[in-house]
Structure 1
Amino acid sequence: MFRLMQKHPVNSADSLADGLSLCMIVRNEEKNLPKCIHSVKNLVDEIILVDTGSRDRTIEIGRNLGAKVFSLPWTGDFARARNFSLVQATKTWILVLDADETLRSHEHSLIKELISGNLPCEGFYLKLVNYFSNYPDDYTIDAVCRLFKNKPQYRFSGSVHESIAPSIINYQGNSCIRPVEVHIDHRGYLNQSLLKQKSARNINILDLEAANNPTDAYNLYAMGTELFQQGNYEDALTQFRQTLSLSAGSNVTADVYFKMAVCCLELAQYQQGLKILKQGQNIFPDFTGLWYLQGMLEFRQGNYQQAARIWQQTLDMGDPPWHRYTFPYGIGTYLSL
């Protein structure tokens, strides 16, 4: 029997207790769930687990690990499931994790300090470390708002690649979310067969979204990202071009320029890639990744001295600010050597 989503939030400020709620949505995560929960067991005060249709032992494992388990029919909307989990939380702060993610135990004390202090902010950007192989330096860094105050006006948006930051910023402004040196280690990309299944699922969801709202810039970006991860660079480039025409100045624009340049590199469209990078560099001069890719494009054309000069510039710049840009680790250091 499913517990249906309530029409109005139950977690009003007056009914919340001090502490930290872990909110998760899961499906068939019996292999990953124990490691995830054990990584925060001594940090959080309650665990909210929303299951969207598991056929394995996920629900049983969650209950055995102390989680409050709720069931919700899957409708193809990640934001809806996330928001349902937030409604169940009873503590003043919320931490959001996926089952294939873990926190580092030595950073628990910093999190406790952040949520018990009186900092004038509503949430924190954490470092999402996405591992792509078993090599320790093969990862990218994303800034994600996964630790935030439990308020009914703060809700996720986006059926795929959902985010809560826009709603917090809409109420409080950009400065209300601060970056902190807390890491979320994400190893979901290590399973390539599962990654392909999830990507195909996401594309189906985004196709439905596009039919209803073909000019939604974030959905176009999300679709481009899925195609990019599949290696379909030509179609990804088309999606990113449409995104750029609709989202200049948004928080995904820098990543769009970066991914468009990579597409051009893979498609041997070198001059087009250089043109794209010049536009991006004018807007984001401190994004080292754009300069690194310029060096790659010059190198592919045999302009070795020019490439070396540009890569020296990236070494001088160093890695870009992690809370502003998504980038491969080492792009401002050893990758440019």
Structure 2
Amino acid sequence: MMHSRVTISAAMIVKNEARFLPGCLDSLAGKVDEIVIVDTGSTDGTIEIAESAGVRLLHQAWRGDFAGPRNLGLDQVRTGWVLYIDADERLSLPRGGRLADYIDPEAVAGFVRFRPKTNFTRYREWRLFRADPRIRFAGMIHETMVPAIKAVSRQEGWPVVQTHVEIDHLGYDGDISHKHPRNLALLEQALPLDPDRLFYWYHLAETYAGLGQLEEAENAARQGLERAEEQDDDNRSATASLLYQFLVRTELQHGRDPLGLIASALAREPDDYALHFLKGRALLAAGQAELALEVAHFLRAIDPDRLPDGWLAFDHALFGDKACELAALACLDLQRHAEAGQYFAEASRLAPGVLAYRVKAAAFGGGMSVNL
């Protein structure tokens, strides 16, 4: 498809992104027709970086609302399509060329193949859409244009299509605890305005947990699941899976049996491989080592790079060293020590930076030496 039929702008909002912005701009260079950036009060050199790159730079003071500056940027776009991207993300076009080459001009929007963290699988993410005045962001945090896209799609009969465009997110690779207080304040304001937004409940649970407020975290996750029971679309089902994962981890941490909860979750989302892994851990804790070993074998048989793009992303380790460790622990419970040693050795091969795997492989005859 000729990109001359499509023009596209990259639109982002920034504040103190001097660390990430140059890499993002490099990934966009030569691939889009313009870059529109709204700065919300940077003091670290971000503005100078943007100006030197020749972007269209706008300013809006931070008002505790992410949708506002997003929409200011959309108002200034001069092209037919928009790529929504953040400074801590990187655009990749597998076949080269320009981003417009990947756009279906008959569509209203396109999914990208999004990697949320390093070493995770990709999932579908709404990031490409027409520069239509009816499509605007809503929500003071986790702002979204998805309802607006769906409304325009219904009105016009324009489809939403999958693309081969890839985006990698780097911002969650480090410590993000400094964001918890800000996020908590925004979530507590946003939830009463849109209590059916399941991701608000999940993020609230994770934020409370990050702040050490464990009872509040569990309550938030359970309230989110109550809302999920009344909802049925794919994207919300995936968010329900995240809530289930959170609660299952909580149950395991408290020494409680989460197998009933896991059964309910997998009935709703059978391809949630993170829940399958948690099921293996729960079976091990319940003394059902043979069944835990079956789960480990199931996960090891999956090639994460060949999974279809769904609504969930998974850590590659679940199919690699974590599955091997689960198998090793199950074998230890079954008194199959030599086999356990081999699984620990395989885990060490897959994750050579984890010294514990090497130590255990050597201890149980996995054919490895340990130099301390």
TM-score interval, normalised by the smaller of the two chains = 0.7 to 0.9
Asked if the contact 1:25/1:51 (under 8 Å) is kept, the reply is yes
**C-alpha deviations, 1:208-231, integer Å up to 9, x for none?**
234656665443233123335567
**Structure 1: distance between partners of 2:137 and 2:228:** 19
Structure 1: unaligned runs, 5 residues or longer? 1-16
Q: Is 2:70 aligned against 1:85?
A: no
Matched letter for residue 131 of structure 1: K
Q: Report whether the alignment pairs 1:283 with 2:268.
A: yes
The separation in 2 between residues aligned to 1:191 and 1:333, in whole angstroms, is 22
Alpha-carbon distance change, 274 to 178 in structure 1, aligned in 2, over 3 angstroms: farther
2:350 aligns with none
Partners of 1:228 and 1:154 in 2: how far apart?
34
What does residue 116 of structure 2 align with? 130
| Structure 2 match to 1:206 | 187
What code does the residue aligned with 1:292 have?
F
User: Is 2:93–2:166's contact at 8 Å kept on the other side of the alignment?
Assistant: no
- % identity of equivalent residues: 27
In structure 1, what is the equivalent of residue 290 of structure 2?
305
CA distance in structure 1 between the aligned counterparts of 2:72 and 2:145, rounded to whole angstroms: 13
Query: 2:214 and 2:95 mapped to 1: Cα distance?
Result: 38
Note the aligned Cα RMSD (angstroms): 2.7
Residue 262 of structure 1, CA deviation: 2.4
Alignment partner for residue 135 of structure 2, among 144, 154, 158? 154
| Structure 1 residue 85 displacement after superposition | 1.3
Contact 2:94 2:166 (C-alpha < 8 Å) held by counterparts: no
Query: Higher strand fraction: Structure 1 or Structure 2?
Result: 1
- Provide the residue aligned with 1:187 in structure 2: 170
Say yes or no: does 1:177 pair with 2:175. no
* Aligned 1:157-168 pairs, distance under 5 A: 157-168=138-149
After TM superposition, what 4+ stretches of structure 1 lie above 6 angstroms from structure 2? none
Alignment-derived partner of residue 225 in structure 1: 206
Higher RCO structure (Cα 8 Å, ≥6 apart): 1
* Match in the other structure for 1:256: 243
In structure 1, what is the Cα distance between the partners aligned to 2:224 and 2:160? Answer: 25
Q: Which amino acid aligns with 1:93?
A: W
- Contact kept? 2:225, 2:243, Cα under 8 Å: yes
Gaps in structure 2 of 5+ consecutive residues:
325-372
Q: Which moved more, 1:172-181 or 1:157-166?
A: 172-181
CA distance, structure 1, for counterparts of residue 265 and residue 98 of structure 2: 35
Q: Distance in 2 between matches of 1:323 and 1:150?
A: 25
Q: Distance between the aligned counterparts of 2:20 and 2:163, measured in 1?
A: 25
Task: Give me the whole-angstrom Cα distance separating, in 2, the residues matched to 1:97 and 1:23.
Answer: 6
* Residues in 2 aligned to 1:225 and 1:153: alpha-carbon distance in whole angstroms: 33
Alignment partner of 2:200: what SS?
A: helix
Report the TM-score, using the length of structure 2 for normalisation.
0.74
CA contact (8 A) 1:236 1:263 kept: no
Aligned partners of 1:145 and 1:163 also within 8 Å? no
> Aligned AA for 2:168?
D
CA contact under 8 A between 1:155 and 1:167: conserved in structure 2? yes
Q: Match for 2:205: what amino acid?
A: G
Number of positions where the alignment pairs a residue of Structure 1 with one of Structure 2: 310
Larger Rg: 2
8 Å CA contact 1:48–1:89 kept in 2: the answer is yes
Aligned letter for 1:81?
P
Closer, same or farther: CA 310–190 of 1 in aligned 2, 3 Å:
closer
CA distance in structure 2 between the aligned counterparts of 1:268 and 1:108, rounded to whole angstroms: 51
Conserved in 1, the CA contact under 8 Å of 2:31 and 2:98? no
Which residue does the alignment assign to 1:4?
A: none
Q: Relative to structure 1, is the Cα distance of residues 164 and 128 closer, same or farther in structure 2, using a 3 angstrom cutoff?
A: same
Instruction: Tell me whether 1:53 sits opposite 2:41 in the alignment.
Output: yes
